[in-house]
Structure 1
Amino acid sequence: MLSWYFARTTGFSFSALFILTFLSIPVLSQAAQVTLTWDPNDPAPDGYSIYLRAEGQAYDYSQPCWTGYGTIATVYGLEENVAYFFVVRAFVGVQESADSIEVKFNNGTSSLIWIEAEDGDLQLPMEIGADPSASAGGYVWVPEGTGSFTYPSVNAGYAEFYFEVPEAGDYIIWGRQISNDSASDSFFVSVDGQEELVWHTKLGGQGVWTWDVVSDRDVDAPRDATNPQVYWLEAGFHTLTIRQGEDGTRLDTIAITNDFNLGVSDLCVKLAADVNSDGVVNILDFAQLRSDYGKNGDPGWIPTDVNSDGYVNILDFAILRNLYGQSGCQ
């Protein structure tokens, strides 16, 4: 907790913690807004002022970008591709405190890259599994009983993914996964051939798909999103490798993003029966499934093979019926 002191005989003190909590980037205007919140001071001041500066510039303390009485404020009109810094000051009359902790907001383009785990290049014993509750109906895993690894091994199965980022920057990786118990809750993760870290995945319940951020956390550490592994990525193509840790751990969907404010509620999944990928299961998906009825081949190669068993048949119609009318990611 930061303490601010005025040069006055009353010893009136201020304390606040300055926190960046939310941002949004309107697409049409190409300008951003950022909402900032901080702890209230005790005793209460007359109000608070927020100051901003662009990277490489100094604060102009004669021109606050916001002044008010609350402990939450939104600053509008931020230019695209500019790094901004913010501090808050409390005031009584014409006297102000010192600066709060400074926070940075990099107003670049927000990127979110979706990858279906079963679309990767697989090395056995990593294989594709089918589950109607998984995104697009499939996932990857090393089946239970295959064996577990404490350290990365060339004998371990893996899935390798190729992806492109539009601009250089810091990125984090989310995964929708199932970790049924402490014996099936880890993968090894590497980007562009860097040293592999062990990702102790979040336990979400028996058979429950759970979003978790890739983190180099200890096995006994809290398995939340407070300390994600950050990857610096240049604009262009990259490789992500998910390697076998403990058998039985399942991976459904991967989301790679430079938006550190992205939360689980912002992540969604593509419904298995949304075979035309328009975001809703409806008559159009039914028509496409009907036209493919009776086809067979490698599991997952036909979009209408909803349960990824290699056949388009009555089982796929049954899943579509159960999901009919629901919506998900396009």
Structure 2
Amino acid sequence: MSEIKSVLRYVFTLLVIMPTMIFALGTAGNDLNFDGIDDVAVVADHALLDSLAKQYTIEAWVNLSAFTTAPRIIDRANVFSLYLDATGGNHFEFFSYKNPAVILKSNALTTAGWHHVAVRRIKQGANYTTTFFVDGLPSGSSSTSADLVLLAGNTPVTLGNTLMTGMVLARPWKGQLDEIRLWKIGRSDAEIAANRGIPLTGGEAGLLALYELNEGSGQAFADKSVNHLNGTMGTNPLTVDVNDPNWNPSLATVGLNLTAPNSGVLTIGAPLAISWVADPALTAVNILFSVDGGVSWMYVVYGTANDGSYSTYVPGYPTAHALFRVADPTNVSRFDDSDAILTLSGVGSWQKTVTKEAEDAVISKPMHINWDGHAFDCTFIYTSHDLEGIAEITVTIPADGLYSLWGRSRSKGSTRNSYFVSVDGGNEYVWDTEKRDLWIWDKISHRGLTGVAGVSAEIDPLLFTLTAGTHKIKFRGREHYTRLDRIRLTNDLTAGYWDEPATWVELVNPPDGEDGGVVVRGTDYLITWKSRNISNEVTIEFSKDDRVFTSPILIARGTDNDGSYLWHVPDESVDDAFIRVSDGDGGGCPMDQNWDAFTIINPSPQITVLTPNGGEKWQVNTSHEISWSSKNFSNAVDVALSVDNGKNWTTIATNKPSIGAFTWLVPNLPSDVCLIK
């Protein structure tokens, strides 16, 4: 078993940031290996041991390699004994010397290897109930016998054997013992199950003694609890003797212990078997690697089953400073690293890259294909509705490896920048694209639970273990109008991409915008564009209510590629209007169009007062003409007077034509701030 025992710090990098050790962690924990003949470990008698009485919990991790006669796990002569019995199948037994004939039995074990065993006595109502637990679950029948209370004693506690008079060293354990825990309380079912694989601090309430057995050498082993009931090896605590068990690297599933890879030189692209042992209460673990000695980390896989092994390929990142890590997905402070720095070595032309156009995908609506002058082949895909539309791209991988997936995307606004991504029908990830209205290559990442859209991702980059052959990559619409141009898979994890089309044209005006724009019908409007490496002429087209230009209306063919064209807007209203600029005679790439539709609207109605026009001095009770004109307006008008500079108005004529005049008798309301409207 292993446990984190060093100070954590946080380091900023461009990779996935995890709490990291100042020095590489990864030395496995240890256990005691008993020879099955005469080995023993001893905890001297102490008055505190008598606190194991009416209520108690006794726990151990055990791995029996060969059977002997009733081999002892934990024993206190004349007080209690926990052991394994083969009668009727290998099962655990426990008794108190108050009445050794009352024996509590677990169910028979069905598998070999490491097991967690616990015996617990707890008061339930008026009775005390004693129960076995094997691998976190109740096992066998419980007993309410009063004979399972533990008596006070004056003998030591022994591990792996007994010092009982008449059978001294005659009940040897052959195999390994680890993580011995003695509690003076009855632990709950949930506590036993959930904490059997979690390293303790030693300060837990009710803990009498904790033997982690991690020393790895020497004649003594420590009690990590506050009671310090330390133990010694063999029958002579001062020197090595034949009764000493051996220290042994442990594979008990306590904490987290990365068992491979732990050292050496790994060839990039070669098969890599990552193995570990971990707290059995964990359903999943994360596996990561570092190329800079533990400063920063990348995920090999996130949330893989806690079954002890994961097969992948050596990452494509040449370095002499590599480490691997197994980590608890629910607690970033629980992890274990390789025991030593590794080297990842590239041999030959190991780099492999596959590029595919997004529009080559098999598409289901509302996923669509459209045009953009800065996209490769001028085309890209997008979904027109949130949470709908699928594009499935088939790729052929040339070699086994651990691959990163890149996408060239363009996003704008607060709701146009994410896809769901999955490979070969696996987990679906949330990829937040860059929130910029530019075509950008980006390693596909996963927002996860801790990421923030547009700020950070929990897994960055996503890596995929792929074998040579055909694979399917699925992009499912998450937010509408998120554009995807092409994808790239590479096993070269050092690679970066900035490539763009060698020739392009970009429509500048009319501009794109979240809500489009407006143009007035029957007016002149300046269309502008930029380009690179295209011909000296362009074609400009117009489309009404049709983004895909099914029936384009020609504005100009073969006009000079000078970046601008003055267009006389048709004298009609159009709700969704589009302009397209293309190279030469048009009809092909390079070409570009406005993405967000603009609207052609009627001119704003205007009414202009002609007389009076300001500055006139009209006498009261005299007649004068009031006249007006209008534009884009044909309804009747009313005429009003203000004698207080527009604060208050009085109607002086109604239902007049939109263009007209009438003779007005000036009222007896002297003022030098009069207005007509």
The TM-score with structure 1 as length reference comes to: 0.51
Judge conservation of contact 2:429–2:446 (CA < 8 Å) in 1. Answer: yes
Q: Give the alignment partner of residue 499 of structure 2, picking from 246, 268, 271.
A: 268
User: 1:290 is matched with which residue?
Assistant: none
User: Shift of the alpha carbon at 1:217?
Assistant: 2.2
Q: Which residue of 320, 330, 335 corresponds with 1:86?
A: 320
Aligned pairs, number: 204
CA contact (8 A) 2:383 2:482 kept: yes
Confirm or deny that 1:210 pairs with 2:451: no
The verdict on how the C-alpha distance between 1:181 and 1:282 changes in structure 2, with shifts beyond 3 A counting, is: closer
Measured at CA, do residues 319 and 227 of structure 1 come closer, stay the same or move farther in structure 2, by a change above 3 Å?
Answer: farther
Match of 1:164 among 372, 396, 410: 396
Q: Give SS of 1:172's match.
A: strand
Does residue 407 of structure 2 align to residue 175 of structure 1? yes
2:464 is aligned with 1:234: no
Q: If you compute each CA radius of gyration, which structure gives the higher value, 1 or 2?
A: 2
Kept in 2: contact 1:213–1:225 (CA 8 A): no
Q: Within 5 Å, give how 1:275-314 maps onto structure 2.
A: none
Counterpart pick for 2:358 among 117, 135, 140: 117
**Contact 2:317-2:492 at 8 Å conserved across structures:** no
- One-letter identity of the residue aligned with 1:167: A
Q: 2:342 aligns with which of 86, 102, 113?
A: 102
Q: Alignment partner for residue 373 of structure 2, among 109, 132, 153?
A: 132
CA shift, 1:201, in A, is 1.6
In 2, Cα distance between equivalents of 1:216 and 1:158? 18
Q: Quick one: distance in 2 between partners of 1:272 and 1:316?
A: 12
| 1:319 Cα deviation after fit | 9.4
Q: Secondary structure in 2 aligned to 1:316?
A: strand
Distance 1:248 1:232 in 2: 30
- Given candidates 239, 254, 257, the residue that maps to 2:490 is 257
With the length of structure 2 as denominator, give the TM-score of the two structures.
0.26
Aligned-residue offset at 1:281: 5.3
Q: 1:125 to 1:85 in 2, by over 3 A?
A: closer
Shift of 1:195: 2.1
- Residue segments in structure 1 that go unaligned for 5+ positions in a row: 1-16, 20-51, 57-81, 89-98, 150-155, 275-279, 287-306, 324-330
Quickly say closer, same or farther: Cα 1:317–1:261, change in 2 above 3 A. Answer: same
Task: Give distance in 1, aligned partners of 2:318 and 2:463.
Answer: 20
The letter for the 2-side match of 1:125 is P
CA distance in 1, matches of 2:397, 2:480: 30
CA contact (8 A) 2:417 2:432 kept: yes
Q: CA deviation at 1:182?
A: 2.7
Q: Note if contact 2:446-2:461 (Cα within 8 Å) is conserved in structure 1.
A: yes
Aligned counterparts of 2:549 and 2:367: Cα–Cα separation in 1: 17
User: Mapping of 1:239-250 within 5 angstroms?
Assistant: 239-250=472-483
Q: 2:403 touches 2:463 (CA, 8 Å); kept in 1?
A: yes
Q: Distance in 2 between matches of 1:159 and 1:127?
A: 9
Distance of 1:211 and 1:225 partners within structure 2: 19
Provide the rounded CA distance (Å) in 2 between the counterparts of 1:188 and 1:319: 39
> Aligned partners of 2:373, 2:360: CA distance in 1, in Å?
16
Asked if the contact 1:185–1:200 (Cα under 8 Å) also holds between the matched residues in 2, the reply is: yes
Q: 2:582 aligns with which of 298, 313, 316?
A: 316
Change (3 A) 1:319 1:213: farther
CA offsets, 1:109-145, max 9 Å, x none?
Answer: 21111111112111110101111111111111013xx
1:53 and 1:117, CA in 2 relative to 1: closer, same or farther beyond 3 A? closer
Following TM superposition, by how much is the alpha carbon of 1:237 offset from its aligned partner in structure 2, in angstroms? Answer: 0.9
Structure 2 counterpart of 1:196:
428
Aligned sequence identity (%): 28
- 1:105: Cα distance to partner? 3.4
Unaligned stretches of 5+ in structure 2? 1-10, 14-263, 271-315, 323-338, 506-531, 537-546, 559-580, 591-677
1:27-76 Cα distance to aligned partner (Å, 9 max, x none): xxxxxxxxxxxxxxxxxxxxxxxxx84669xxxxxxxxxxxxxxxxxxxx
Q: CA separation in 1, counterparts of 2:318 and 2:479?
A: 43
Q: Which has the higher helix share?
A: 1
Query: Conserved in 1, the CA contact under 8 Å of 2:503 and 2:534?
Result: no
Residue deviations 1:69-122, cap 9 Å, x none?
xxxxxxxxxxxxx9977359xxxxxxxxxx984342344521111111112111
Work out whether residues 136 and 272 of structure 1, in 8 Å CA contact, stay in contact via their aligned partners in 2: no
Match for 2:376: what amino acid? S
